[in-house]
Structure 1
């Protein structure tokens, strides 16, 4: 049975139909185990997403979603990524995006702009909520630039933090505002709001060149190599994630791994503290941190131009040099 949800009024005694911000949401199988070892149920997950909704919606608003669903729980062995939603409540907003592949087709993506939609997604066993790096109307023009720090064993979060401090300093030097968050695993994500006018290749090139700079400063632990065998024991600065219709775990999204960790926004100065454990940000701790005001005030809408930053790197954004 669910506890009282923030902004949710119970409609009937069973707790299976609730009113969320004026929308009637049907909840099912609230006792279904989602993380068996941790004793976390689907009801707990719905409670989590309802409690952090005001913060999460600041970042996911207007962005098409890619949802990682676990109908049988994260230990159930079967999951699937759902992007096309032909059936949904009438009040759930969707957008049509033309997918480019071997065959062009229109994909209907859910957009989460309200708490009711987030609660409905949680009831649909959407553990992991990933959003586009664009918010339209042209989804091929990103308004977020991503710097993804991805450790490869035996490198881990400690090495990602060391590189993250350098990334933060570099972005500050270039006067590029950025949101820092844990990946929900052992990596870090930097999200830079940008004017939605650049080709994907230009965005990738910027992240690649920044990565090469950092690789030169920290060659023992940083790499931009696309070859797996050259990433062993290093943190891969993944510029390739800035790809057409690629997604990133939304701030506050849970991840389908032991302990039910969350991708949690951090102040950069937090990285200077010793022994940060990314697993400390999880389904049980994050709602309390939000209630206590441990949140980041950051506006994705304040978008920036990349030309001055390219100038700092000594190159022009329109260079024809390809990044592979």
Structure 2
């Protein structure tokens, strides 16, 4: 295992164990998590693996197969994520000592598949096991979110970390981001003759640059003007929109209708009507493009050409401003759809997108 070799090279010893946490795709429910809303993600087969051993002091040293170089102890750049997890655990009163940590991952950075959450959860799970902290998977997700909020400075919601920690193979995760209650909903694509194809646009985004934070601030401001704790609590959408204007009005429109779309998709999945969710995926993308304004030309072309190529539905997934789209397509039409999207990119003079077929996978776990 490459991560073990990396550990041995960097630290001159043997790790006490190896842990893995997956990335995620969000089927639907975008930018609803920090509005106390509903989300429907699932874990993907790709993730982050951490080989870890305890130290006798309090130092935390990290190396990454992707970043290269020797051990890092500075809370900066990519190292802020794993070291931030250890610091956050200590601040929460958990008896976390030092650790040597080697990281390896196969999630493309910036593709919108939540490599950062996978990194946080893999390290949190490793430290939880090694120091016998007794934290639940949900506890670990919350610690990962707190590290990203407070140490990295990215005001993300709980969805990504929860999907990485809690997902079940063959299922999507219905998560209520207010109560943190969750339920696994069967999502058996092969039995319905369907694929869910991830279209990586190759446009890499940095959500900590202020755009994500601005969207969150818009939502919080709108909720305050409406006198509700969060936009999840808006029940009279028409009345709410009549009291708002500009960006706050558009953000509210998206969040409220997106929560309704999550509920509708869950209903269809429970009824076994998997192919019928496509129209809701399309509506979600239009709302993210026009009301929340987090799409980009490459995502829009991916979605439009996927539908033209035979997809039942498609939308951007993740925080936006780049990253990936997803397309629900009949298995026997998937290759033709890929060709249509690739041709659309070629016509624009863009770099070809990368296609991956996503299967709902297991959440974080110890490998050895």
More helix by share: 2
Normalising by structure 2, report the TM-score. 0.26
Normalising by structure 1, report the TM-score. 0.29
